[in-house]
Structure 1
Amino acid sequence: MFTLYSFILLSLVYITHSENGFLPPYISPCELSTDKFVDCVKKQIVNSLPKFTKGVPEMGVPSIDPVHLDNIEIDGNGLKLSFSEAAMHGLSKCRLTDLKVDIGKSEETFSLAFKGNLSLVAKYVVDGRILILPIQGKGDALVDAQGVEVKIDSKLVHVKDTSGEHFKLATPKYKYTIEKTTFDLKNLFNGNKQLAETTLQFANENWQQLMDELAPPAIKQIVRTVVKAINKFFSKVPIKQIVIGYKESQ
């Protein structure tokens, strides 16, 4: 009979494996010595991305879809715009567009790029002008950014603990492009439909000006969250368990 004691024992075994390099079933190690190593890593990322972004609780990796953002403040060029209670949705549906892995040398690097449509849901407060048009209001905001591509370039350093050596992304740099953005700001001008429609149409026609101010702090927080999640995963799994044939430093 499967007793409570048996359940607790199995749970402890499972937790022990998790703490000493448990790999989720959708991630397999890659053989370093083959010329298909990068292809193998790419396959693992493509297969695991939708699941990984939803979190790996048994490894302490939190969900990053949505990404909860700090308040974003825009104050310049005659416009004051703030977003609070902001969350960016869509990372789990992004696709990998580029990957470079260089390990086993004196300086190891890791680069990846992903692309998709991201949606920002938040509370907004705005006052000022967008170019020549006045804008004022507060309420719910939805910002849809289409074709967002983010590329992250990072060094790979090693961190040692009792289970061995672990990778860690260090000093990451990033760049991004956005194909188009549309804004939907509810309750502009205290609900004046005609003024709101005219202003939103103008804002969407001139989305680049707004995104020049909005995108940098938002993308920075997204990259920071992604890097933190990857490093959390790395901290739970020794290099030797995800890269077959890797020689740890002495």
Structure 2
Amino acid sequence: MKVIFFIFAFVACTSAGSLPSFIHPCSASDKNLNECIQNVIAVAGPKFADGIPELGIAPLDPVQLRTVQVNNPALKITFTDTVVTGLRGFRVNSYKINPDKGKASLDFTANVTLKAHYDMDGQILILPIKGNGNAKIKITNLNILVKYDFDTVDGHWIVTNHKDSYKMDHAQFKFTNLFNGNKELSQTTEKFTNENWEIIMQEIAPPAIKQIIKSCIDVVQKLFGAVPANELITQ
């Protein structure tokens, strides 16, 4: 049976129909198939982070998210020129696949940093917050789990459906020009936001991380569309 492994964009090829030397396809009959694929992901990931221009595949580190919007009743933020770095240093926690059911999952962790221009107005809990300037958000141990369904169509793998979840150990914020540069208010607000990072990330994280995951899925679909399934894994 043909087996798809969705490596979350962490496989590479130098041209359609040609795998590079650092990719060693796994065998569908390998009793340790999960471990084999997990090792492939770990080795190929940093190389794939550079992108594959000849296949139209953009780099995954940095990820260009452009505009990210948080639009809640109490807090509105628009991030523009948004860039996320750090995926290159990811680590694979586990990979599991059920070829017979066409289901698989990938669990990985990375330390990532989001930089953008922000425009923010609203409040966090009881604290008003407003500003327009540069934003930097550092996320420690961002853990993402992707579960997906797959199929083979005309010799190529396709991801037909996916679900994702995430968690993190910590987040740290730096917003310049809060309250038009008022130093006292800025320091108080920055201290408050970093002490209450979990509450703030409940608002900011969903749209940003959803876009990160979508960018990776789009890249994978391009890769799978360009390279036949039987060149990515052997029978």
Instruction: Indicate whether the TM-score tops 0.5.
Output: yes
Residues 33-72 of structure 1: pairs in structure 2 closer than 5 A: 33-72=29-68
Larger RCO (CA within 8 A; separation ≥ 6): 2
- Of 164, 176, 181, the residue aligned with 1:191 is 181
| Other-structure match for 2:169 | 179
Residue by residue, what CA displacement relative to the aligned partner does 1:8-40 show, whole Å, maximum 9, x if unpaired? xxxxxxxxx933x11122111112212122222
Letter in 2 for 1:144: K
More helix per residue: 1 or 2? Answer: 1
Q: Percent identity?
A: 36
Offset, 1:153:
0.7
* Cα distance, 1:51 vs structure 2: 0.9
Q: Shift of residue 229 of structure 1?
A: 1.4
Distance 2:56 2:104 in 1: 22
Q: Alignment partner for residue 147 of structure 2, among 149, 153, 167?
A: 153
Letter in 2 for 1:98: S
Q: Partners in 2 of 1:69 and 1:82 — Cα distance? A: 12
Partner Cα distance (2:208, 2:120) in 1: 17
Q: More displaced, 118-127 or 33-42?
A: 33-42
CA contact (8 A) 2:35 2:95 kept: no
Q: Which of 129, 146, 154 in structure 2 is aligned with 1:135?
A: 129
Aligned-partner Cα distance in 2 for 1:28–1:173: 28
1:18 paired residue number: 15
Structure with the greater alpha carbon radius of gyration: 1
Q: Is 1:167–1:234's contact at 8 Å kept on the other side of the alignment?
A: yes
Instruction: Give the conservation status (yes or no) of the 8 Å contact 2:70–2:207.
Output: no
The CA distance in 2 between the partners of 1:239 and 1:136, in whole Å, is: 50
1:230 positional shift: 1.6
For structure 2, which runs of at least 5 residues remain unmatched after alignment? 1-13
Structure 2 letter corresponding to 1:196:
S
Q: CA deviation at 1:77?
A: 4.8
Alpha-carbon distance change, 216 to 193 in structure 1, aligned in 2, over 3 angstroms: same
Asked if structure 1 preserves the Cα contact closer than 8 Å seen for 2:111 and 2:140, the reply is yes
TM-score (normalised: structure 2): 0.88
Q: Give the aligned length.
A: 222
Aligned residue for 1:85, secondary structure, equals strand
- 1:202 and 1:244, CA in 2 relative to 1: closer, same or farther beyond 3 A? same
Question: In the alignment, is the contact (CA less than 8 A) between 1:72 and 1:214 conserved in 2?
Answer: no
Report the more deviating stretch, 227-236 or 204-213: 227-236
What TM-score does the superposition give when structure 1 sets the normalisation length? 0.83
Q: Which residue of 2 aligns with 1:5?
A: none
Structure 1: distance between partners of 2:77 and 2:33: 47
1:18 aligns to what SS in structure 2? coil
| Aligned counterpart, 1:101 | 97
SS of the residue aligned with 1:71? Answer: strand
SS in 1 for 2:116: strand
Q: Which residue of 2 aligns with 1:11?
A: none
| Cα distance in 2 for residues equivalent to 1:61 and 1:159 | 21
Unaligned runs of 5+ in 1: 1-16, 246-250
Deviation of 1:221 (Å)? 0.9
Which amino acid in 2 is paired with 1:92? R
Corresponding position of 2:232: 242
Q: CA separation of 1:146/1:187 partners in 2, compared to 1, >3 Å: closer, same or farther? A: same
Structure 1 counterpart of 2:105: 111
Q: Which residue of 2 aligns with 1:4?
A: none
Structure 1, residues 39-78: CA drift from partner, whole Å, max 9, x if none? 2211111100111122122333221112222422223353
Q: Is the 8 A contact 1:157 1:169 kept in 2?
A: yes
- Specify the SS of the correspondent of 1:47: helix
Structure 2 vs 1, CA of residues 171 and 205 (structure 1 numbering), >3 Å: closer, same or farther? same
